[in-house]
Amino acid sequence: MTDSLSMSGQNRTTTGPGAALRLPTIIQGGMGVAVSNWRLARAVSTYGQMGVVSGTGIDTVLVRRLQDGDPGGHLRRAMASFPFPDIAKETLRRYFLPDGLPSGKPYARLPLPKIEGSALQRGITMLGNFTEVFLAKEGHDGPVGVNLLTKIQLPNLASLYGAMLAGVDYVLMGAGIPREIPQVLDQFAQHRPASIRADVIGGRRDAPVTFDFDPAEFDGASLAPLQRPAFLPIVSSHSLASMLLKKARGPIQGFVVEAPVAGGHNAPPRGGGALDERGQPVYGERDEVDMGVMRDLGVPFWLAGGVGAPDQVREALALGATGVQVGTAFAYCDESGLAPDLKRTVIAQALAGGAEVHTDPRASPTGYPFKVVTLPGSNSEEAEYLQRKRVCDLGYLREVYETPTGKLGFRCASEPVDAFVSKGGELAETVGRKCLCNALMANIGLPQVQKGGDVERPILTSGDDMDVIRRLLPPGRDSYTAAEVVDYLLGGVA
């Protein structure tokens, strides 16, 4: 690959999988669930950098937005362009409520994801990703990416195909080792089937279990070939980047290198489970990334995590990075999907110098450390969380396990304890685990009303550097736009 333009602060281009690939200086990081929604991604991409939508859980987000009446008609506009109209029609028939859901009523749920699943389940996952990317790309020609978590394996194939049907330019995936994904993208560009190997706890089968997706099931083969998006794995170490470049199936166009101060899930520290006095994982020298190795890989890379200041952007470029990926600063801007009251509360906390983040090694059922903003009234508060009746009705973070009789099942360490243990899970695994699926829906103003009228509560995540919110706000202001974040970040770049 060759950079064709190296003006700092301006986007560069390089040869990519298809046409010339535009390399942004700023990537607005993917933030689930729908914190980086189409409005935020579109604002950033319209402003000349790269917006990224989150594809995680977007099928549930789609059907809840439809039940809220789809204000503005944006989803229905996007759905009208979906190449498989029967799926769009059936989704509307089942979930669209023109007058919205009466307050206090529970949202209708999608069936829990299953290995075989139904064509409609796969279809709604495709449709959710399609609509989000379609809307993010509307009205400009800047690049748009989609972010997915490698570890949430089951919906990933349908998600990728749906995003590609909408012409997604980049796919960014962390939380696991996405070795098989480049080949999946190659296959889907030609509407050919693809599979990924399922991680099965306690699996003893001779043949691997796979998740499969065939575009032919939806008549995909009748469509023109799709753009093969650039693939950027999100890694926390130079050794993983080197390994992926050598051993991934198919080509990789670059990396996002994420430090443990970044918001969301973090890679666990290498070599040991030591905790500091606040119970947070301790990172050391072994977790540091060798920039020399990254440069020598010869592909573009972006630094993520605590690079939300103009001098840090400048420093990243000086280290040889193509740019930076920023999350926290964008999470609290006007266009982000966070519920407005939560945004206002955290911004007020940050302005008062009191915003606090804790890296919780237990909260996420994925087993990865997860950063949690301390916020009274939210599920960051252990005592309050323990009042919540455990229920697993979204199921994205469940793991697949094999029963002693050789059957496959799903379990989540945040589901009801008895159920988890009866499925062979260890009791100790459930301690301190929280239901992120429901909390993340609550974060974006789409909380479920559970039996008995209990409304699911949020659990916010942010990077360690929450002071970025204060830095972005001049005296007298208490909100800011995505464009202002971009201007601020590029302010130190010539």
Ligand X SMILES: Cc1cc2nc3c(=O)[nH]c(=O)nc-3n(C[C@H](O)[C@H](O)[C@H](O)COP(=O)(O)O)c2cc1C
Q: Does 232 bind ligand X (CB under 6 A)?
A: no
**What is the C-alpha to C-alpha distance for residues 231 and 249, in angstroms, rounded to an integer?**
12
322 exposure class (CB count in 10 Å sphere: 0-12, 13-18, 19+): buried
Contacts with ligand X by CB under 6 A: the residue count is 29
Q: Does 327 bind ligand X (CB under 6 A)?
A: yes
Q: Does 361 bind ligand X (CB under 6 A)?
A: no
Query: From the CB of 256, what's the least distance to ligand X, in Å?
Result: 7
Q: Does 465 bind ligand X (CB under 6 A)?
A: yes
Q: Does 234 bind ligand X (CB under 6 A)?
A: yes
Of 25-33, 132-140, 281-289, 444-452, which segment contacts ligand X by CB under 6 A?
25-33
**What is the C-alpha to C-alpha distance for residues 54 and 49, in angstroms, rounded to an integer?**
16
Query: From the CB of 94, what's the least distance to ligand X, in Å?
Result: 27
Complete DSSP assignment for 99-130: T-PPTTPPPPPPPPP-SS--HHHHHHHHHHHH
Complete DSSP assignment for 408-457: EEEE-TTS-HHHHHHTT--HHHHTT---HHHHHHHHTT---B-GGGPBP-
Q: Collect all residues with Cβ–Cβ distance below 8 Å to 321 and sequence separation of at least 6.
A: 257, 291, 294, 301, 302, 303
Q: Does 31 bind ligand X (CB under 6 A)?
A: yes
Q: Does 350 bind ligand X (CB under 6 A)?
A: no
Q: Does 461 bind ligand X (CB under 6 A)?
A: yes
Output Rg (C-alpha) for the chain, integer angstroms: 21
Q: Does 322 bind ligand X (CB under 6 A)?
A: no
Closest-CB residue for ligand X?
327
**What is the C-alpha to C-alpha distance for residues 264 and 327, in angstroms, rounded to an integer?**
9
Residue where the block lists tokens 């790269």: 50
Cβ atoms within 10 Å of 242's Cβ, excluding its own: 17
**What is the C-alpha to C-alpha distance for residues 472 and 450, in angstroms, rounded to an integer?**
38
Query: From the CB of 391, what's the least distance to ligand X, in Å?
Result: 22
Of 30-38, 94-102, 154-162, 200-208, which segment contacts ligand X by CB under 6 A?
30-38
Query: From the CB of 346, what's the least distance to ligand X, in Å?
Result: 10
Q: What mask, x for binding ligand X by CB under 6 A, covers residues 287 to 306?
A: -----------------xxx
Contact with ligand X (CB under 6 A) among 14, 37, 56, 364? 56
Enumerate binding residues for ligand X (CB under 6 A): 29-32, 35, 54, 56, 147, 149, 174, 234, 258, 261-264, 304-306, 308, 325-328, 331, 461-463, 465
